[in-house]
Amino acid sequence: MEEKQLIGELNRILTLEHGHLGMYRDFIDHEEKEIRRTFRRFAEIEAEHVEKVKSILYNLGAKPSFVVEGGDIIGSLFGFTINKAASIKDIIKIYSAIEKKSHEGYAAFVSKIEQDADNRNRFLAEIVSSNMLESHLMHLWLEDKLRTM
C-alpha cells in the first residue's frame, strides 16, 4: 500500500475510533449499573484505540487528523442518528451494529496490509489487529446483552 493511502486509511480509522469513544464516554448517565461499568471499560478501550492509531501515525511521521471535523461523527460516518430519547435497547442495537462494522473494517484493512510486500506494513497489521479483536469482543458483548433485554 502506498504511503499516502496508508496514512489516509489510518486517519479515517482514527476518526471512527473517536466516534466510538463518544458512544461510551458518557457511561455515567446510564441507569443500569452493569451498563455503566461495561461502557466505562469500553470507553477506556476506545481511548486506547485512539492512542494506538495516533501513535502509529506519529511514528510514520504523519499528522493525525480527522476526516470529519467535530459534530456528529457517528451520524455522518455510519448514517445512524441517535436521538436523545432513544431507549437503551435501541442504543445498544446501534452500538452493536457500529462495532460490527468496525470489526469488518479492521478485518479488511488488516488483510490488505498483512499481504503487503513491505515488512513495516505487515508489522502494522499486527499492531492494529488488537483493535480489530476488541471491536469484535465489544460487538459480542452488546449482542449478548440484547438477548436478555
Interface residue list for Fe ion (CB under 5 A): 17, 20, 46, 49
Taking alpha carbons only, the member of 65, 69, 71 closest to residue 8 is 65
Phi-psi region of 11 (alpha: psi -120 to 50; beta: other; left: phi over 0): alpha
Q: How far is the CB of 50 from Fe ion (least distance, A)?
A: 8
CA 98 – CA 85 distance, rounded (Å): 19
Q: Please report how close the Cβ of residue 12 comes to Fe ion at its closest, in angstroms.
A: 13
User: At its nearest, how many Å lie between Fe ion and the CB of residue 48?
Assistant: 9
- Measured from the CB atom, is 7 or 106 closer to Fe ion? 106
- Decide if 18 contacts 48 (C-beta within 8 A): no
CB of 15 to Fe ion, least distance (A): 11
Residue 58: all three cell numbers together? 506519529
The smaller minimum CB distance to Fe ion, of residues 17 and 74, is found at: 17
Dihedral of CA 144/145/146/147: which sign?
positive
The type of residue at 84 is K
Of 65 and 118, nearer to Fe ion (C-beta) is: 65
Please report, for residues 65, 76, 94, 130, the alpha-carbon distance to residue 133 in angstroms, rounded to integers and kept in the order given.
24, 24, 19, 5
Cβ closest to Fe ion, residue 118 vs residue 137: 137
Comparison of 7 and 50: residue with beta carbon closer to Fe ion: 50
As measured in angstroms, the least distance from the Cβ of 119 to Fe ion is: 26
